């Protein structure tokens, strides 16, 4: 059996793992990364990137279709568009290909050795990898577990056949005529919206009493409104029971306790993700757990010396940028740099239509700290740039930016926004929070006109009681 030793072994080349490996390599650590699939993890291959590609295609198609159907307010008419979804999928695959190759090259350039295969712990310092060329033993001074997460499967609706996860949904070459989405979280709504735009008749089943239950109710209202215009049916307080015996419909139990058949060509189950903690020998290590996750401390150390964990396997929020920051930090810690997790906030973006951004504390969370707070909200319906983008339609449902600040010293605690393209505004929001900005800092910063970003200082001014444009 081949043997290899190194200073650092990273298990999993997702966003957390590959960033950790690259940084470790840059810092001169002898690093090996093991990945069973392509580098890039869920994010690059079946998550963030491909879903955004699909969402973009769907949006472009929807615009063209709208122009064909009823024209536009500004007089654009077009013939009915045609979409070759297979081509769109291969275009998307091209993007994924470029990115995963890019990651592989970055790893190589940083002097990181990549081993393709499935790793399994023998003990805290030794891993056995099943590679195409046979088993490989890797001994490491330090190990970083970055095994990520996997979609949650419903026992009554195991994946397979008509029941698919987000990964399969991204590979569909034809929009299903009738799509039932189980779970109105951000993944389900992002994909459900995309398929609705592509022409599918979409029904969303949610057990809670509203969509995006993890998100602020006010923020989700414009999303619900848009789903309605897209003809998406939302069934709340309902539970997915089973596939009908002829496999043509999903049987759900409604809030009233009645069973209802929802005809479906595909059933997309997006009821969350769970950490991937089996299949790689966790039982050999007996690491402490935090619920389903691996327990880590402020430096991503697990309960075993020399074993670190980063990314989705360590808990919520299961977001790529959190994993990347953790990976970066752990690499520097292993290079003897003093580092610890000390960020104030992790931005969360939901690429629904319109997009939703949450940074820092929501008004409820801020109030829960027992402090007096100030809120300022500015609607995009009063923003010039939003109007010129045709993004103001719907009045109050056009979206807004909301700032949450401490009443005593005006420190910005959180920023939320909903509206077309607000994902890009998240940069300004998170920077404000990390830099410790006060409302006056935001209000006193000149934002370019005409841009949607002007809604940010306007919201801050409103929180100060000095709103200008509303």
Would residue 449 show up in a list of annotated catalytic residues for this protein?
yes
Angstrom distance (rounded) from CA 191 to CA 230 = 13
Q: Which is nearer to another protein, 248 or 466 (CB)?
A: 466
Q: Which is nearer to another protein, 118 or 341 (CB)?
A: 341
Q: Which is nearer to another protein, 20 or 89 (CB)?
A: 20
Angstrom distance (rounded) from CA 143 to CA 462 = 50
Can residue 76 be called a binding residue for another protein (CB under 8 A)? no
The stretch among 69-77, 172-180, 230-238, 403-411 that binds another protein (CB under 8 A) is 403-411
- Catalytic residue, chosen from 56, 410, 447, 449, is 449
Name the E strands within 310-406: 348-350, 355-360, 373-379, 400-406
Residue 341 near residue 333 (C-beta atoms within 8 A): no
Q: Report phi then psi at 446, rounded to 5.
A: -75, 120
- Among 351, 377, 391, 390, residue whose Cα is nearest residue 455: 377
Measure the CA angle with vertex 417, ends 415 and 423; round to 5°: 105
The stretch among 138-146, 208-216, 301-309, 402-410 that binds another protein (CB under 8 A) is 402-410
SS3 content of the chain, % helix, strand, coil (to 5): 35, 25, 40
Q: Which is nearer to another protein, 134 or 444 (CB)?
A: 444
Q: Which is nearer to another protein, 411 or 470 (CB)?
A: 411
How many residues touch another protein under the rule CB under 8 A: the total is 20
Can residue 60 be called a binding residue for another protein (CB under 8 A)? no
Residue 405 near residue 439 (C-beta atoms within 8 A): yes
All residues at 6 or more sequence positions from 299 whose CB lies less than 8 Å from its CB, including other chains: 308, 329, 330, 333, 339, 340, 341
Can residue 411 be called a binding residue for another protein (CB under 8 A)? yes
Residue 160 pairs in a beta bridge with 163
- Among 359, 382, 353, 357, residue whose Cα is nearest residue 450: 382
CB of 288 to another protein, least distance (A): 25
Using the rule CB under 8 A, which residue among 435, 449, 468, 469 binds another protein?
A: 435
Q: Which is nearer to another protein, 343 or 388 (CB)?
A: 343
Q: Which is nearer to another protein, 92 or 410 (CB)?
A: 410
Can residue 434 be called a binding residue for another protein (CB under 8 A)? yes
CB of 128 to another protein, least distance (A): 37
Interface of this chain with another protein, residues 339 to 378, rule: CB under 8 A: 339-340, 342-344
CB of 428 to another protein, least distance (A): 15
Using the rule CB under 8 A, which residue among 441, 445, 451, 467 binds another protein?
A: 441
- CA–chain centroid gap for 321, Å, is 9
Length of the chain: 470
CB of 130 to another protein, least distance (A): 40
**Residue whose entry in the numeric block shows the structure tokens 């003990």:** 123
Judge residue 342's burial from the number of C-beta atoms within 10 Å of its C-beta, 0-12 exposed, 13-18 middle, 19 or more buried.
exposed
Residue 290 pairs in a beta bridge with 293
Q: What is the dihedral of CA 391, 395, 401, 403, to 10 degrees?
A: 170
The stretch among 81-89, 105-113, 210-218, 438-446 that binds another protein (CB under 8 A) is 438-446
Can residue 237 be called a binding residue for another protein (CB under 8 A)? no
CB of 433 to another protein, least distance (A): 10
CB of 144 to another protein, least distance (A): 20
Q: Which is nearer to another protein, 393 or 435 (CB)?
A: 435
CB of 440 to another protein, least distance (A): 5
State the number of CA atoms in the 13 A half-sphere of 55 facing the CB. Answer: 23
Using the rule CB under 8 A, which residue among 34, 107, 287, 464 binds another protein?
A: 464
Residue 47 near residue 320 (C-beta atoms within 8 A): yes
Using the rule CB under 8 A, which residue among 90, 408, 424, 449 binds another protein?
A: 408
The stretch among 42-50, 77-85, 315-323, 401-409 that binds another protein (CB under 8 A) is 401-409
CB of 86 to another protein, least distance (A): 44
Tokens of 227: 């789903």
Residues near another protein (CB under 8 A) are 337-340, 342-344, 406, 408-411, 434-436, 438, 440-441, 464-465
Active-site positions read: 449
């Amino acid at each position: 059996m081949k043997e290899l030793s190194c200073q650092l072994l990273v298990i999993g080349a997702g966003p957390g793992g590959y960033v950790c490996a690259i940084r470790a390599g840059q810092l001169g650590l002898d690093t090996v990364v093991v990945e069973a699939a392509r580098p890039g993890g869920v994010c690059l291959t079946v998550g963030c990137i491909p879903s955004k590609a699909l969402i973009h295609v769907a949006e472009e198609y929807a615009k063209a279709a709208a122009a064909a159907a009823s024209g536009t307010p500004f007089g654009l008419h077009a013939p009915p568009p045609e979409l070759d979804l297979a081509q769109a999928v291969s275009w998307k695959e091209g993007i994924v290909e470029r990115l995963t190759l890019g990651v592989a090259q970055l790893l190589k350039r940083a002097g990181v050795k990549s081993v393709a295969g499935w790793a399994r712990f023998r003990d805290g310092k030794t891993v056995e990898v099943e590679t195409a060329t046979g088993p490989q033993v890797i001994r490491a001074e330090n190990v970083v577990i970055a095994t990520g997460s996997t979609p949650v499967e419903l026992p009554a609706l195991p994946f397979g056949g008509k029941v698919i996860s987000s990964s399969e949904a991204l590979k569909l070459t034809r929009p299903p005529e009738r799509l039932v989405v189980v779970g109105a979280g951000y993944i389900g709504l992002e994909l459900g919206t995309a398929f609705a735009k592509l022409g599918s008749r979409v029904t969303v089943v949610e057990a809670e009493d509203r969509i995006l239950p993890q998100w602020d109710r006010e923020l989700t209202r414009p999303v619900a409104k848009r789903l309605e215009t897209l003809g998406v049916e939302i069934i709340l307080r309902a539970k997915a029971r089973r596939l009908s015996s002829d496999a043509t419909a999903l049987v759900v139990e409604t809030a009233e306790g009645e069973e209802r058949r929802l005809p479906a060509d595909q059933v997309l189950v997006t009821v969350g993700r769970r950490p991937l903690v089996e299949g790689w020998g966790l039982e050999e290590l007996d690491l402490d757990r935090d619920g389903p996750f691996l327990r880590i401390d402020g430096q991503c150390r697990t309960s075993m010396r020399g074993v670190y964990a980063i990314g989705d396997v360590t808990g919520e929020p299961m977001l790529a940028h959190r994993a990347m920051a953790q990976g970066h930090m752990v690499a520097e810690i292993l290079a003897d740099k003093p580092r610890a997790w000390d960020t104030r906030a992790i931005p969360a973006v939901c690429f629904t239509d319109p997009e939703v951004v949450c940074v820092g504390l929501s008004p409820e969370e801020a109030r829960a700290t027992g402090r007096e707070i100030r809120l300022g909200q500015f609607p995009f319906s009063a923003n010039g740039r939003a109007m010129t983008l045709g993004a103001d339609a719907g009045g109050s449902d056009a979206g807004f930016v909301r700032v949450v600040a401490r009443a005593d010293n005006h420190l910005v605690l959180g920023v939320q926004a909903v509206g077309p393209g607000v994902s890009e505004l998240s940069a300004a929001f998170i920077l404000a929070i990390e830099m410790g900005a006060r409302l006056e800092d935001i209000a006193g910063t000149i934002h370019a006109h005409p841009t949607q970003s002007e809604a940010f200082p306007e919201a801050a001014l409103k929180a100060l009681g000095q709103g200008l444009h509303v």
